Structure 1
Amino acid sequence: MNFARSLPRRFNPVFTAFLMIAFLTGIAGALQAPTLSLFLTTEVKVRPLWVGMFYTVNAVAGIIVSFLLAKRSDTRGDRRKLILLCCIMAVGNSLLFAFNRDYLTLITAGVLLASIANTAMPQIFALAREYADSSAREVVMFSSVMRAQLSLAWVIGPPLSFMLALNYGFTVMFMIAGGIFGISVLLVWLILPSVARAPVDTHLDAPAIEPISAWRDPDVRLLFLASMLMWTCNTMYIIDMPLYITADLGLPDRLAGWLMGTAAGLEIPAMLLAGYYVKHFGKRKMMLFAVAAGVLFYAGLVMFKFKTALMLLQFFNAIFIGIIAGIGMLYFQELMPGRPGAATTLFTNSISTGVILAGVLQGVLVENFGHYMVYWLITLLALLALWMCAKVREV
């Protein structure tokens, strides 16, 4: 499309479009995800076991589909067209959930559409990386600003989701999410560029970018496992914290919302500062700093059980999530040069795998030992992730 070329030179519509698409797709996702379990329970009327099964099937299908699409995106085809397809599937998925209440349909057709739709985000970041490289932009800051849009979306999206669902119904909420995805379709179609693939150098003097399987690289393996453990810790905390503070600590329900909102708000400056300072300290040191903050956060949850301490600990939580969410993805891309789609998807799949593992571990621990043991385990897992990150080479 020539739409972008018709605008003034000093205004970069492509850069702005990337930020807007990241924010809009983040908002649409943040509208759907927080109330999904409530939707399945109250609207579809399934037992808790089948709610959990839905999350597991959705995560597994997402990993498989995103890997298949990422492999294709890095070798052939137009990444922009793939993003367009994913956003169109997201519109279809939103409309399906708006008007359908059959569990079997949702866990089959809905999960398939969602798996394709969820591939949009890593592909958007991969295309942004290629665009930044081709236009000589600062890659780290560009990516950090984009990632901050997602954090901003998750500050706004969850409370808006509950407000819409509880006051106007799930049909309205899902239709609004579909409309936001529809706006993203237009922005992708009108403004996003098609960036030519950079040729992969397979010369003997450049073995680091030889197109071998990523899993054969011990640094990629370690980083994937460390990232998986980090997101396992984060997801276990998100699942368990609202129950823990009310059932065990006797604190008010609304505190959970304040804790999540505070952390999400603090993540934005953490991401932006990380994008600025990474060129001075390097990705490895920034990751180690982030995971060390995570260890302090989870250890603090073990030691402190009153409201003020829990609020103050969100500072360490924001550093932890803010840095690993942005720098972690770039770390994968640097370890896998020439394959930004596969690298970004590997990062997002470490999140999905962490979600699957977190659901199982949290359920087993609470059932047998209570909520308090969850925080002992995630502290130990964070320490293990810190040790793994220390073994990954600098890039």
Structure 2
Amino acid sequence: MKSLLTRRRRINPVYVAFMAVSFMVGIAGALQAPTLSLFLSREVEVRPFWVGLFYTVNAIAGIVVSLLLAKRSDNRGDRRMLILFCCLMALLNALLFAFNRHYLTLITAGVFLSALASVAMPQIFALAREYADSSAREVVMFSSVMRAQLSLAWVIGPPLSFALALNYGFTTMFIVAAALFVICLALVWFALPSVPRVEQSPEVLLTQISAWKDKNVRMLFIASMMMWTCNTMYIIDMPLYISSVLGLPDRLAGLLMGTAAGLEIPAMLLAGHYVKRFGKRNMMLFAIASGVLFYLGLVLFQSRTMLMVIQIFNAVFIGIIAGIGMLYFQDLMPGRPGAATTLFTNSISTGVILAGILQGALAETWGHYSVYWMTLALSVVALGLSMRVRDV
């Protein structure tokens, strides 16, 4: 009887709502992102240069808008209302892409709506952190399970995206994404809590003002940016490397990505479970060391079997830094969960921008193999920087 009561106490409906919202927003994003380049080249009929320009402009706009909104979200207003606004912008963006094929409109209005929509996920995680703190819930495991929902969404979303786009057309795919955002709006409105702002002490407010001046925050941001640069360079280059250099089947690229995404989920959950024992800093260093081993493996091995085996290191690398990395930023910036979470997501966006530039330049000049030497070098530097970030 006591066990049953304990289980009921643990199954918090708000907790479930956070899981559902993060999964639904993740699925909606994973429906649109994988086929975007295909949509621009086939439906909008633009050259590869304009496709690349769209990604760059979109990433830069996302960084600027998210930083502005994050600063506001930590100081005033209801964070839940901001999430609702962002989901509404995501809905409008999906409808715009469903029915518009004009490149100038998409790279202006579409990018603007997309930038506003991109704030939703970091704000959901920031609200989850505030809720966990206010209700005395276990923060790390709560966040890790939420982050696992995104990985699960990215296991399901890309195959579904290609199936909808190629079999029923891009309009149908974007309409399905819009419908998912309608569900997200309903979940946020009816199920997510409004967490009151906690009055900060003068000491904490001083820490907030000078957070970026803290060398630990700066080093963690640069290290995180390098990690995500490595990951994105691998994602961009690997399908081309597999087919054109190694002469392996094209479908192997999808198998490698799906395997890594699937293994990320237990890696995240195990990290959330063991972080109290080993600490965030040690877990991060372990993850980055796994990343170094993964990129070293890409340099050394070229067989199908070994490429599959080293995905274990890739999953540990991404699974841990995606969950623990965000919490590390939040702990280094007390009282600013919105700004900290956004700084983490902006390290990802900056990494995406750098990855596109580096991968293209390296592959064009020295071939695809040079890309993996660069990822190895960047991961080693990221490990060195992370070792200098203080423990929290």
Q: TM-score, normalised by structure 2?
A: 0.97
Secondary structure (helix, strand or coil) at the match of 1:210 reads helix
- In structure 2, how many angstroms separate the alpha carbons of the residues matched to 1:279 and 1:299? 30
Shift of the alpha carbon at 1:11? 4.9
- In structure 2, how many angstroms separate the alpha carbons of the residues matched to 1:197 and 1:293? 38
- In structure 2, how many angstroms separate the alpha carbons of the residues matched to 1:11 and 1:332? 28
Secondary structure (helix, strand or coil) at the match of 2:242 reads helix
- In structure 2, how many angstroms separate the alpha carbons of the residues matched to 1:317 and 1:309? 13
Shift of the alpha carbon at 1:10? 7.2
User: Are 1:216 and 2:213 an aligned pair?
Assistant: yes
Shift of the alpha carbon at 1:213? 3.0
Aligned residue in 2 for 1:102: 102
Secondary structure (helix, strand or coil) at the match of 1:73 reads helix
Aligned residue in 2 for 1:28: 28
Aligned residue in 2 for 1:255: 252
Moved more, 192-201 or 140-149: 192-201
Shift of the alpha carbon at 1:290? 0.1
- In structure 1, how many angstroms separate the alpha carbons of the residues matched to 2:285 and 2:320? 10
Aligned residue in 2 for 1:383: 380
Shift of the alpha carbon at 1:95? 0.3
- Look up the equivalent residue of 2:156 and give its one-letter code: I
Please show how residues 102-251 of structure 1 align to structure 2 within 5 Å. Answer: 102-203=102-203, 210-251=207-248
Moved more, 190-199 or 147-156: 190-199
Secondary structure (helix, strand or coil) at the match of 2:202 reads coil
Secondary structure (helix, strand or coil) at the match of 2:248 reads coil
Shift of the alpha carbon at 1:211? 2.4
**Is the contact made by 2:207 and 2:333 (CA closer than 8 Å) also made in structure 1?**
no
Aligned residue in 2 for 1:5: none
Deviations 1:62-91 (A, max 9, x none): 000000000000000000000000000000
Moved more, 347-356 or 211-220: 211-220
User: Are 1:373 and 2:370 an aligned pair?
Assistant: yes
**Is the contact made by 1:66 and 1:345 (CA closer than 8 Å) also made in structure 2?**
yes
Deviations 1:139-183 (A, max 9, x none): 000000000000000000001100000000000000000100110
Shift of the alpha carbon at 1:195? 0.3
- Look up the equivalent residue of 1:237 and give its one-letter code: Y
- Look up the equivalent residue of 2:174 and give its one-letter code: F
Aligned residue in 1 for 2:67: 67
- In structure 2, how many angstroms separate the alpha carbons of the residues matched to 1:132 and 1:44? 44
Please show how residues 278-297 of structure 1 align to structure 2 within 5 Å. Answer: 278-297=275-294
- In structure 2, how many angstroms separate the alpha carbons of the residues matched to 1:353 and 1:48? 21
Root mean square deviation of aligned Cα: 1.1
- Percent same amino acid at aligned positions? 74
**Is the contact made by 1:202 and 1:211 (CA closer than 8 Å) also made in structure 2?**
no
Deviations 1:357-389 (A, max 9, x none): 000000000110000000000000000000000
Secondary structure (helix, strand or coil) at the match of 1:52 reads helix
Shift of the alpha carbon at 1:199? 1.7
- In structure 1, how many angstroms separate the alpha carbons of the residues matched to 2:211 and 2:292? 28
Shift of the alpha carbon at 1:215? 1.4
**Is the contact made by 2:34 and 2:158 (CA closer than 8 Å) also made in structure 1?**
yes
Deviations 1:89-110 (A, max 9, x none): 0000000000000000000000
- In structure 2, how many angstroms separate the alpha carbons of the residues matched to 1:19 and 1:58? 27
- In structure 2, how many angstroms separate the alpha carbons of the residues matched to 1:218 and 1:275? 26
Secondary structure (helix, strand or coil) at the match of 2:192 reads coil
Shift of the alpha carbon at 1:210? 2.7
Aligned residue in 1 for 2:45: 45
Secondary structure (helix, strand or coil) at the match of 2:310 reads helix
Shift of the alpha carbon at 1:12? 2.2
Aligned residue in 2 for 1:3: none
- Look up the equivalent residue of 1:149 and give its one-letter code: Q
Aligned residue in 1 for 2:4: none
- Look up the equivalent residue of 1:30 and give its one-letter code: A
- In structure 1, how many angstroms separate the alpha carbons of the residues matched to 2:9 and 2:89? 33
Shift of the alpha carbon at 1:336? 0.1
- Look up the equivalent residue of 2:246 and give its one-letter code: L
**Is the contact made by 1:200 and 1:210 (CA closer than 8 Å) also made in structure 2?**
no
Shift of the alpha carbon at 1:47? 0.3
- In structure 2, how many angstroms separate the alpha carbons of the residues matched to 1:185 and 1:91? 9
Shift of the alpha carbon at 1:214? 2.0
Match of 1:330 among 308, 327, 331: 327
* Residues 99 and 132 (structure 1), Cα distance of their counterparts in 2 relative to 1, 3 Å cut: same
- In structure 2, how many angstroms separate the alpha carbons of the residues matched to 1:9 and 1:318? 32
- In structure 1, how many angstroms separate the alpha carbons of the residues matched to 2:9 and 2:179? 30
Off by >6 Å, runs of 4+ in structure 1: none
**Is the contact made by 1:41 and 1:48 (CA closer than 8 Å) also made in structure 2?**
yes
Secondary structure (helix, strand or coil) at the match of 2:70 reads helix
- In structure 1, how many angstroms separate the alpha carbons of the residues matched to 2:180 and 2:253? 27
Match of 2:263 among 261, 266, 269: 266
**Is the contact made by 1:143 and 1:326 (CA closer than 8 Å) also made in structure 2?**
yes
Deviations 1:257-307 (A, max 9, x none): 000000000000000000011110100000000000000000000000000
Aligned residue in 1 for 2:17: 17
Match of 2:272 among 269, 275, 279: 275
Deviations 1:12-32 (A, max 9, x none): 221111000000000000000
Aligned residue in 1 for 2:299: 302
User: Are 1:355 and 2:352 an aligned pair?
Assistant: yes
